[in-house]
């Protein structure tokens, strides 16, 4: 385990809310300390050297590092916890990652194989996608800047990262670690996200082979190998092999984007961008060595193999997360790439990764650019070959057993032999035991203890899906309580993802029993119980920006996803400037970056996205419309409607609803409706 050096006599003992306990490392720019606050949260605290404290250029670089780190959503990166750039001792405190660097692990334990390599690739691709969604080019992606924590890999060190300008690129300078530079960095051409993709490919190749793939006895040799040497990736399996090979293309326009890398590794089509749900899946898979790596398209209620889109949106080309926790700085040592000591040791078990959040898109001035080069979609990679097992002797035995059972069953059903379980083949099952024949959902739950509930899968803090069909959020917890109120067994409650345009269909055809998916009551083809909440079209702004009422938006920039709320705001404030966006994830990225001043939408959805952001946000309370969110039930099931309406009334009476609203939206300056909305009639 790397050594944490004791504090020197001249070292500070306190920085901000953190008590310093040791030195992690030191570089040319400053010292990195280990600190702990009163809540027991550990931080890697980078302190600018006192000799630079009066240097405006050094402070400017330090501020740039902080800005880059704060822009990136915390998918497999390290959150910024605290910072002070104005005082006599400027510092940045980021989440402390207890783990060894990828370089140290490979050098000590050897190359990664199988699941461990898969999870490393997925986790780092997730981090790189989040970085690029924030319009950041890392510029020094390498094994030293990948720390392997207990919950998987984290990409750190934004010391030389640059924010991309409006052209989607930045002017190249020979910055970075030579063996992980891309050809365009060597030739002096423009660099962009595709430059990080090349470094990612070289890093994964190092992890898989145990060798620096562009190694040389001098810098000249290294640079020559980068420009002319083709890397042998045969040790990897598909789809990783083909993805790394494409990432290491000498031509930037032939490389996949970070989004495409992540989608391919998750077995998804790469013709669209990676949604926030996919970022969450990638981060969780990278950090969970018990979940299988998916290698095929996902089937969900009403659709097959499509990525979820945000509320009232179309699928986006690029997606991101609005500031849900922020990314970190180097935890090796301050200053130059690769300097300093590592953090506390944590061995890589069968995996690497982690995290979760919203979604963004491709249009608008601060979309996550892929530079002027966009690789064409590649066909889906074939599934990884499963491990071979010695199954020969068992196959014959298994076939024999199957044949015997089949023969006995055939004779039994012909009347030659009695059925071993005593059933009469001439008697059909009772209607109550046949799927789909219950006269009411109430009867089905009472008889089987089971219920299937449709929820959105891409709305943070409302209904967000993670791997293995795990759902979290306000509507998910509400669905559980309704199901238990109907008498469902805890293990008999199943959640599936539904979409805005298929919610009616999946209820009508019986794929789901209930739908909670920000479902507004109308006179359609389904029954509604409730409403359980009265939402409103409103506007989200950053706290402390001086926008207190709708009229203050005059002359301000308004993010404009595909939502009727945009027109409702524009009719009241004609002077507002619209900035087009694909969905709410992109809008949140714009709001965090200061590119727009406000986002219109339904207040509960806006609060759900804002809850995950590091900065504080406010829902104005304009209440432009009333949106009655209710529980969708199959039309004509009056008994179920009345039962659910009664359960909702009880949840309001015992203040459960108020507690859930505070739990899932309490961080946002938002005054939710805390009075039960008038119940609609059933039938």
Q: What is the pLDDT of residue 55?
A: 52
Q: What is the pLDDT of residue 283?
A: 77
Q: What is the pLDDT of residue 539?
A: 96
DSSP string computed for 202-242: HHHHHHHHSS-TT--SSHHHHHHHHHHPPP--TTSPTTHHH
pLDDT mean across residues, the chain: 75
Query: How do residues 235-261 score in pLDDT, each as one tens digit?
Result: 999 999 999 999 999 999 999 999 999
Rounded to an integer, the average pLDDT of 599-618 is 92
pLDDT bin (cut points 50, 70, 90) of residue 16 is: confident
Packed helices 603-611 and 584-593: angle between N→C axes, nearest 10 degrees:
60
Q: What is the pLDDT of residue 65?
A: 56
Q: What is the pLDDT of residue 236?
A: 95
Q: Is the pLDDT of residue 515 over 70?
A: yes
pLDDT bin (cut points 50, 70, 90) of residue 410 is: very low
Tokens at 650, concatenated: 């009880």
Q: Is the pLDDT of residue 41 over 70?
A: yes
SS3 readout for 308-356: CCCCCCCCCCCCCCCCCCECCCCCCCCCCCCCCCCCCCCCCCCCCCCCC
Q: What percent of the chain has pLDDT over 70?
A: 69
Q: Is the pLDDT of residue 535 over 90?
A: yes
Q: What percent of the chain has pLDDT over 90?
A: 37
Contact 627, 536 (CB under 8 A): yes
Q: What is the pLDDT of residue 159?
A: 47
Q: What is the pLDDT of residue 38?
A: 85
Lowest mean pLDDT among 112-126, 167-181, 209-223, 419-433: 419-433
Give Cα separations from 145 to 104, 161, 353 (angstroms). 11, 12, 14
Q: Is the pLDDT of residue 463 over 50?
A: yes
Alpha carbons 539 and 618: distance in angstroms, whole number? 8
Query: How do residues 289-334 score in pLDDT, each as one tens digit?
Result: 655 565 433 333 443 333 333 332 223 333 333 333 333 334 544 4
Cα angle 516, 521, 527; round to 5: 75
More confident residue, 388 or 606: 606
CA-CA-CA-CA dihedral for 248, 250, 251, 257, to nearest 10: 10
Classify the C-alpha dihedral 417-423-424-425 as positive or negative: negative
* Helix ranges restricted to H, 582-637: 584-593, 603-611
Alpha carbons 268 and 242: distance in angstroms, whole number? 15
Q: Is the pLDDT of residue 430 over 70?
A: no
Q: What is the pLDDT of residue 291?
A: 54
Upstream peptide bond of 637 is cis (omega within 30 degrees of 0): no
Rounded to an integer, the average pLDDT of 659-672 is 92
Q: Is the pLDDT of residue 597 over 90?
A: yes
Q: Is the pLDDT of residue 370 over 60?
A: no
Tokens at 206, concatenated: 């190092």
Q: Is the pLDDT of residue 424 over 60?
A: no
Query: How do residues 483-512 score in pLDDT, each as one tens digit?
Result: 998 889 989 999 999 988 888 899 999 999
φ, ψ of residue 522 to 5 degrees: the values are -150, -170
DSSP string computed for 75-140: SSB--EEEEESSSSS-EEEEE---SEEHHHHHHHH----HHHHHHHHHHHHHHHHHHHHTTEE-S-
Relative to beta strand 152-155, strand 136-137 is unpaired
Alpha carbons 433 and 427: distance in angstroms, whole number? 13
Rounded to an integer, the average pLDDT of 184-194 is 87
Q: What is the pLDDT of residue 626?
A: 92
Rounded to an integer, the average pLDDT of 205-231 is 91
Q: What is the pLDDT of residue 151?
A: 79
Q: Is the pLDDT of residue 433 over 50?
A: no
Rounded to an integer, the average pLDDT of 76-98 is 76
* Backbone φ/ψ region at 69: left (φ over 0), alpha (ψ -120 to 50), beta: alpha
**C-alpha closest to that of 629 among 599, 665, 603:** 603
Which residues neighbour 397 within 8 Å (Cβ) at sequence distance 6 or greater? none
Q: What is the pLDDT of residue 60?
A: 63
**C-alpha closest to that of 78 among 23, 2, 151, 5:** 151
Tokens at 55, concatenated: 């240097």
Tokens at 484, concatenated: 């238990």
Alpha carbons 547 and 567: distance in angstroms, whole number? 19
Query: How do residues 439-452 score in pLDDT, each as one tens digit?
Result: 889 889 988 999 99
To the query of whether residue 491 is one of the catalytic residues in this protein, the response is no
3-state secondary structure of 483: helix
Alpha carbons 683 and 681: distance in angstroms, whole number? 6
Q: Is the pLDDT of residue 550 over 70?
A: yes
Which residues neighbour 594 within 8 Å (Cβ) at sequence distance 6 or greater? none
Q: From the candidates 140, 270, 458, 504, which is the catalytic residue? A: 140
Alpha carbons 389 and 378: distance in angstroms, whole number? 32
Q: Is the pLDDT of residue 99 over 80?
A: yes
What 8-state DSSP symbol labels residue 171?
-
Displacement of CA 325 from its chain's centroid (Å): 11
pLDDT bin (cut points 50, 70, 90) of residue 39 is: confident
């Amino acid at each position: 385990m790397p050594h944490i050096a004791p504090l020197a006599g001249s070292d500070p003992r306190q920085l901000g809310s953190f008590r310093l306990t040791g030195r992690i490392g030191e570089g040319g720019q400053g010292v990195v300390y280990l600190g702990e606050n009163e809540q027991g949260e550990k931080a890697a605290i980078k302190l600018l050297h006192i000799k630079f404290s009066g240097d405006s250029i050094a402070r400017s670089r330090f501020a740039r590092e902080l800005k880059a780190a704060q822009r990136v959503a915390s998918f497999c990166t390290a959150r910024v916890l605290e910072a002070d750039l104005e005082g006599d001792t400027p510092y940045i405190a980021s989440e402390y990652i207890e783990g060894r660097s990828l370089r140290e692990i490979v050098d000590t334990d050897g190359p990664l194989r199988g699941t461990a390599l898969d999870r490393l690739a997925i986790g780092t691709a997730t981090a790189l996608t989040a970085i690029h969604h924030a319009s950041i080019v890392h510029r020094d992606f390498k094994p030293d800047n990948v720390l392997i924590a207990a919950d998987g890999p984290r990409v750190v060190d934004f010391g030389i990262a640059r924010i991309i300008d409006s052209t989607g690129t930045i002017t190249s300078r020979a910055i970075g670690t030579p063996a992980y530079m891309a050809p365009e960095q060597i030739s002096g051409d423009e660099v962009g996200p595709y430059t990080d993709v090349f470094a990612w490919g070289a890093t994964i190749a190092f992890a898989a082979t145990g060798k620096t793939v562009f190694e040389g006895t001098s810098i000249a040799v290294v640079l020559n190998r980068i420009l002319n040497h083709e890397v042998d990736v045969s040790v990897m399996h598909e789809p990783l092999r083909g993805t790394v090979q494409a990432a290491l293309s000498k031509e930037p326009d032939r490389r996949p984007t970070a989004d495409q890398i992540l989608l391919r590794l998750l077995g998804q089509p790469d013709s669209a961008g990676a949604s926030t749900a996919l970022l969450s899946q990638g981060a969780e898979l990278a950090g969970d060595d018990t979940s299988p790596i998916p290698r095929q398209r996902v089937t969900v209620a009403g659709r097959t193999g499509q990525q979820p889109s945000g509320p009232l949106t179309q699928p986006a080309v690029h997606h991101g997360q609005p500031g849900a926790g922020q990314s970190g700085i180097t935890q090796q040592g301050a200053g130059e790439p690769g300097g300093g000591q590592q953090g506390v040791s944590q061995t890589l078990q069968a995996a690497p990764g982690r995290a979760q959040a919203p979604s963004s898109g491709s249009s608008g001035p601060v979309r996550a650019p892929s530079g002027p080069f966009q690789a064409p979609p590649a066909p889906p990679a074939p599934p990884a070959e499963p491990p071979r097992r010695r199954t020969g002797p068992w196959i014959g035995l298994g076939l024999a057993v199957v044949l015997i059972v089949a023969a006995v069953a055939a004779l039994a059903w012909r009347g030659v032999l009695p059925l071993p379980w005593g059933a009469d083949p001439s008697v059909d099952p009772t209607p109550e035991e046949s799927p789909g024949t219950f006269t009411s959902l109430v009867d089905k739950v009472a008889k089987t203890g089971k219920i299937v509930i449709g929820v959105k899968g891409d709305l943070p803090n409302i209904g967000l899906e993670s791997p293995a069909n795990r759902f979290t959020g306000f509507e998910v917890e509400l669905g559980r309580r309704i199901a238990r109120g109907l008498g469902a067994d805890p293990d008999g409650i199943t959640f599936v993802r539904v979409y805005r345009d298929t919610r009616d269909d999946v209820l009508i055809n019986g794929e789901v029993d209930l739908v909670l998916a920000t479902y507004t009551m109308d006179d359609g083809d389904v029954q509604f119980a409730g409403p359980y909440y009265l939402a409103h079209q409103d506007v989200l702004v950053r706290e402390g920006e001086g926008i207190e009422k709708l009229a203050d938006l005059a002359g301000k920039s308004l993010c404009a996803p595909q939502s009727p709320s945009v027109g409702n705001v524009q009719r009241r404030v004609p002077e507002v400037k619209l900035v087009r966006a694909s969905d709410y994830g992109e809008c949140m990225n714009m709001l965090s970056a200061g590119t727009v001043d406000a986002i219109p939408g339904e207040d509960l959805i806006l609060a759900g996205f804002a809850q995950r952001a590091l900065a504080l946000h406010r829902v104005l309370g304009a209440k432009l419309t009333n949106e009655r969110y209710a529980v969708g039930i199959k039309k004509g099931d009056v008994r179920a409607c009345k039962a659910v309406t009664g359960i909702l009334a009880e949840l309001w009476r015992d203040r459960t609803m108020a507690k859930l609203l505070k739990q899932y939206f309490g961080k946002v300056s938002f005054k939710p409706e805390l009075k039960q909305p008038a119940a609609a009639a059933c039938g």
